[in-house]
Amino acid sequence: MKLFPAVAVIALTFYSTIATTAPNPVKGEELFKQCVACHAIGEGAVHGVGPTLNHVFGRIAGTAHGYSNFSPAMKDKGAKDELLWTEKSLYIFLAGPARYVPGTIMGYEGLKKEQEIKDLLSFLITFSPAYVPESATEVSADAAAAAVLPVVKTADEEEDPAFTDEFLSDENAIATGGELWGKQCRHCHGNSAYPGKAPKLKPASYTADFVFDRTTNGFRKMPAWKSVFSLEDRKSITAYVLSKKFSP
């Protein structure tokens, strides 16, 4: 299996420093909030926009029981290249999904910091209880089914906010919303979005309640972001999208 030069460097960096910095699953759980709009985990988790990440360690890429919406590129990576998700391969993938699997429909750009990737993996591996750490061994369907998964607490219900002109014109809210948009939303809805990934927005035809609802609950292939962004975050994104400073 050939690696792109940049990805190969990342992999070498990982193995040269893995012993010096202990991964932190608590911080990994916090980082996973960037993933929950598309991926569920824990006992009772079901597939959504993306497959559940239960038992992902020791799983062949492009496979997940009950999920079929993998890109052809991801299926080929598993079937032809025999890619198995392990500590090493997941590390490289999370550093740059589109670099490692060109053609993947996963829009996430990847984590930039080595420690963050380690932390996230240390959290995710707790949801692969049938996998033997560092074994790089495929886990059978029977072994995965027999393993006990951790339970993940669901988000509490909340009331929809009432938007005022004062809030929608608040510079701090707009600035915060702009930062969040650039970090998590632009790669799907922006000018440089992948073709066919998601439509560019037309704020002039939207109400605040409409933008907030879409951000919170999703729509069709768009995932719900309630578990990723706090209530105030989603309000700020709404203010930004409807502001004159909005730039896709």
Q: What is the per-residue pLDDT across 168-180, written as a single tens digit (0 to 9) for each?
A: 999 999 999 999 9
Architecture of domain 5-146: Orthogonal Bundle (1.10)
**Residues of the chain scoring pLDDT < 70:** 1-20, 153-157, 192-197, 221
Q: What pLDDT does 187 receive?
A: 76
Q: What pLDDT does 134 receive?
A: 95
**DSSP summary character for residue 153:** P
211 token code pair: 């933008």
Full-model pTM: 0.63
Q: Render pLDDT for 31-41 as a digit per residue (tens, 0 to 9).
A: 998 888 889 99
Does residue 106 contact residue 50 with C-beta atoms inside 8 Å?
yes
Q: Render pLDDT for 61-74 as a digit per residue (tens, 0 to 9).
A: 999 999 999 999 99
d(CA 75, CA 98): 14
d(CA 180, CA 164): 21
d(CA 48, CA 151): 18
d(CA 69, CA 66): 10
Query: What residues does CATH 1.10.760.10 cover in the chain?
Result: 5-146, 165-241
15 token code pair: 């193995």
Task: Identify the CATH class of 165-241.
Answer: mainly alpha
Q: What pLDDT does 12 receive?
A: 41
